[in-house]
Structure 1
Amino acid sequence: MMEAESDLEPRVGPVPKGEPYFHPYHHPAAGWGAAKSVTKFLLDEGTLIEGPRAIMKMNHENGGFDCPGCAWPDDTKGLKLDICENGIKHVTWELTHKRADREMFARHTVSEMHEWSDFKLEDQGRLTEPMVYDAATDHYVPISWHDAFELVGRHLRNLENPNQASYYTSGRLGNEATFLYQLMARELGTNNLPDCSNMCHE
């Protein structure tokens, strides 16, 4: 089940592909209902093979990884399925075969995408390369990694005060990359590193 905004009425009839929906659900939140929901999600994302493989490694030591969905502590007794439905969805999003490539951005203006729901934006898939906004065409267009770093660096150097910038990134970023990112901010002279979980949950 994909939840929509709380002021929407339950949808009656078939749901158009790519649109959020919700409906009353009066059964247990776990068990077969959750298994059915997860299986449908794996099918929709095209990850029916690699999805279960990743799920079996999630929150396990010795070659496993922590769930990207939350900071719930691992079970020290070694549960085989120390996971939840939302955690499985997070991992499946990471494995999706959907791609938000340059062709997708060429088809849609930024003004058009501004009207899309969060669900529809997420449903376009993973970015494939750096993009920059072109005000003349109202499109995101490709930019090389070198030019992207130059653009960011130029704006950071032109700040009157380093605290005018806020260094925010996804909670899914690994520890090593996060360490380098905060080190860069501190080298530039600011401690303006808002906690991504706070910003997301607020």
Structure 2
Amino acid sequence: MHLHFDKAELRSARTIELNEGDQLAPEDFPEPVVFAVLNGVIAIESHLSDGRRSLLTLRFPGEYLDMNRADRHASGEVVALAPTSVKLVPLSIFEELLLKDSNLRRIYWRRATDIMHQQFDHSSDLGKKTPTERMASFIFELRNRMSIPRFVEEFTLPISRQSIADYLGLRAETVSRVLKGLEKEGAVKLIGKHKIAILDFKGLRMIANGSRPRLSNHR
């Protein structure tokens, strides 16, 4: 999708820079817009009455978030989970581009379908998997969403452990404990707070699929 950001119609769209924690709401704009992520990560966040936060869906560079349609049911704000650049594409222009450019339309709908199925998997993970299994699944989700080549073992975690916890339905301390458990088992290596390397792809995949002993059952 990055290639299509260079189209004249999208180049003219306003770009805004967000710091981690900055929020956007569709009603803040004079006309309906689609958020196109250039870099960083955005999410839809929702809060319970006691203040607990959930991250309902993530968007990575090259992906779009249309809060005017399918995501409208989520009663939450769009939040930046890291320093992020976002294009504000008027909905009317975006729809016109999809009509005129069959290649863009094909890529957009294929990506939208991929994200939809990934959300189905994520919902299942939250309901059925242990914290360790969720984390293993999330590591592979990150690699896929960030288009990291298979032969690359080391990559940067693009969001904080608190954000990971809010996405996986865990506590931040559980995320840290699970990551250390995966490292102790030899599946991954933690490189500081922001990088991770997969040492055992097959083993980590087995954990993600629920095929290995559960390292933790605590939330």
Structure with greater strand percent = 2
**Fold conserved between structures, TM > 0.5:** no
Please tell me whether Structure 1 or Structure 2 has the larger radius of gyration of its CA atoms. 1
Structure 1 length-normalised TM? 0.31
Q: TM-score, normalised by structure 2?
A: 0.30
Higher relative contact order (CA 8 A, sep 6+): 2
